[in-house]
Structure 1
Amino acid sequence: MRSTPGRLSAADRRDLTSAARIREAAILRFARDGFDASLRTIAADAGVSGALIVHHFGSKKDLRRACDEWVLGQIRDSKRTTLATGDSGPWLAQLGRAEQYAPLAVYVARTFQAGGESAAEFFDHLVDDVVDYLAEGERNGLIRPSRDNRARARLLTGMSVGSMLLQMTLHPELLRGGDFTGFFRHLTETVTAPALELYSEGLLTSRKLLDDYLMYVPDPPAGAGGGESAAPPS
Structure 2
Amino acid sequence: MASAHVVAGEREGDIASADRIRDAAIERFGRDGFRAGLRSIAADAGVTAGLVVHHFRSKDGLRRACDDHVLAVVREQKAKALTDGTATMLLAQLAEVERFAPLVRYLLRSLQAGGDLAGALLAQLAADAEEYLAAGEAAGVIQPSRDRAARTRYLTYQAVGGMVLWFTTHEAVLEPGPFQKLFRQYVEEITLPALELFTQGLFIDRSMLDDYLMYVPDPPPAGNAASAAA
Structure 1 pair 3–102 and aligned structure 2 pair: CA distance change class (3 A): farther
Which residue is 1:224 aligned to? none
Which residue is 2:40 aligned to? 41
* Contact 2:98 2:184 survives alignment (8 Å): no
* Contact 2:101 2:183 survives alignment (8 Å): yes
Residue 177 (1) aligns with residue 170 (2)? no
Code of the residue aligned with 1:13 in structure 2: it is E
Q: Report 1 or 2 for greater relative contact order, CA contacts < 8 Å, sequence distance ≥ 6.
A: 2
Shift of 1:178: 3.2
Task: Report Cα offsets for 1:134-161 as digits up to 9, x if no partner.
Answer: 1111111110010110111111111111
* Contact 1:27 1:104 survives alignment (8 Å): yes
Q: How many residues align?
A: 216
* Contact 1:31 1:107 survives alignment (8 Å): yes
Comparing 103-112 and 46-55, the one that deviates more:
103-112
Shift of 1:8: 5.7
Secondary structure (helix, strand or coil) at the match of 1:35 reads: coil
User: 1:86, 1:116 → 2: CA distance?
Assistant: 35
Identity across the alignment (%)? 50
Q: TM-score, normalised by structure 2?
A: 0.87
Task: Report Cα offsets for 1:144-181 as digits up to 9, x if no partner.
Answer: 010110111111111111121112112124x2323321
Shift of 1:3: 6.0
* Contact 1:68 1:122 survives alignment (8 Å): yes
| Mapping of residues 95-110 of structure 1, within 5 Å | 95-110=94-109
Tell me which protein shows more helix as a share of its residues: 2
User: 1:25, 1:172 → 2: CA distance?
Assistant: 24
Which residue is 1:27 aligned to? 26
Q: TM-score, normalised by structure 1?
A: 0.86
User: 1:190, 1:20 → 2: CA distance?
Assistant: 33
Shift of 1:102: 0.8
Gaps of at least 5 residues in structure 1 are 219-234
* Contact 1:138 1:144 survives alignment (8 Å): yes
> CA RMSD of the aligned region, Å?
2.0
Shift of 1:88: 3.4
User: 1:37, 1:183 → 2: CA distance?
Assistant: 23
User: 1:111, 1:3 → 2: CA distance?
Assistant: 42
Structure 1 pair 2–32 and aligned structure 2 pair: CA distance change class (3 A): farther
Gaps of at least 5 residues in structure 2 are 218-230
Structure 1 pair 132–8 and aligned structure 2 pair: CA distance change class (3 A): farther
Computing the radius of gyration over CA atoms, which structure comes out larger, 1 or 2?
Answer: 1
Structure 1 pair 215–114 and aligned structure 2 pair: CA distance change class (3 A): same
User: 1:98, 1:82 → 2: CA distance?
Assistant: 13
Residue 83 (1) aligns with residue 82 (2)? yes
